[in-house]
A = this chain, B = another copy of it.
Amino acid sequence: MAVQNAFEQKKRAILNEIGSAQPDLSPKGTIDELCLPIIDLINTSADMVTTSSCSGRVSVFLEGTKSYNGEVKIGGKGQGGKWLYVTHNREKVLGWLDDLRSKNEFAFEAFSKQISSEQVTGSTRYILYKYEPFILHVKCRDFEIASKLYNVAMSCGFRESGIGSNNLVAIRINIKLDVPIGYLDENSDTLRLFVSSEYVGVLDTLSLSKFDENIRKMHVLYDKIDNELINSASNPNLRIDAATIETKEERRERKKKQGIERQRQIKSAQNTL
């Protein structure tokens, strides 16, 4: 058996985790499908391994409570924040507001034109609508590889990328929305929107175009990583790690196992309710 260095051990461990039926540490528990091609591509290199990713998402978040022991903590999102809606799927963006209303978890006021200073204070729990783009973390064997990956990402427009500790490259782009759309009126447990439902429709439409732009950028990045880091003759130091390439059959088998495991978890969760 060949002796593995620290990077190789780490890479095997991560790939075993990705390949297992266990949910990962993200709230969703699985890798976003749109990330799989670029993750698979990068992991064919013996010198890189992906450590976390998000393909892009729309989220609606109710901030947690900001006052404890009588003190108000300004600026933070607070304890006990709550996701009102999250989707990584472009097809599930439209209609989230109706879904939320029909849940009847909170009373709902569609549009509050009158916003008084009593309602909006330092301790107000805002409802935040966000579009967050693709992000990918890649651990590299050494700084030279990390620099190459960083330069490729920057040249594709991922201008907020950077190299961190231990040759971990964060690939980031700045196509975002970050909009406070309302707040929780704690007196009546009512979600009150600052904006009209027509405006929420505008945000959703913008999110859809950001999803499209995001996916276009992911394709550009995929191609450039493939050309310059994986198959490029000008980078002889980058070796293909044949053992990590999954065949179609292996992927299908793994996906099936994951599906069965997911079903099992859902049933088990339902049984404990």
Contacts and interface: CB of A to CB of B under 8 A. Distances in A.
Interface of A: 74-75, 113-115, 120, 122, 126, 143, 147, 150-151, 154, 160-165, 170, 172, 175-180, 194-196, 198-199, 201-203, 205-206, 209-210, 212-213, 216
Contacts of A172: 160
A160 B163 contact: no
B203 A199 contact: no
A213 B164 contact: no
A154 B150 CA distance: 18
9 contacts: A74-B212, A115-B198, A162-B164, A163-B164, A177-B178, A178-B178, A179-B180, A194-B198, A194-B199
A180 B202 contact: yes
A180 B202 CA distance: 9
A154 B168 CA distance: 13
Nearest to A213: B75
Contacts of A115: 196, 198-199, 201-202
Contacts of A177: 178-180
A193 B146 CA distance: 45
B179 A150 contact: no
Nearest to A163: B163
B180 A178 contact: no
Contacts of A210: 75
Given A151-B165, A195-B199, 20 more contacts: A75-B175, A75-B213, A113-B196, A113-B198, A115-B201, A143-B143, A147-B165, A150-B164, A150-B165, A160-B170, A160-B172, A162-B162, A163-B163, A163-B164, A177-B178, A177-B180, A179-B179, A194-B195, A194-B198, A194-B202
A74 B180 contact: no
A134 to B, nearest CB: 13
Which residue, A126, A194, A206, has most C-beta atoms of chain B within 10 A? A194
Contacts of A175: 75
A219 to B, nearest CB: 13
Contacts of A170: 160, 162
Contacts of A162: 150, 160-164, 170
A213 B164 CA distance: 24
A175 B113 CA distance: 26
A118 B128 CA distance: 27
Contacts of A75: 175, 209-210, 212-213, 216
Contacts of A213: 74-75
Nearest to A162: B162
> Which 3 pairs show the lowest CB-CB distances between chains A and B?
A162-B162, A75-B213, A178-B178
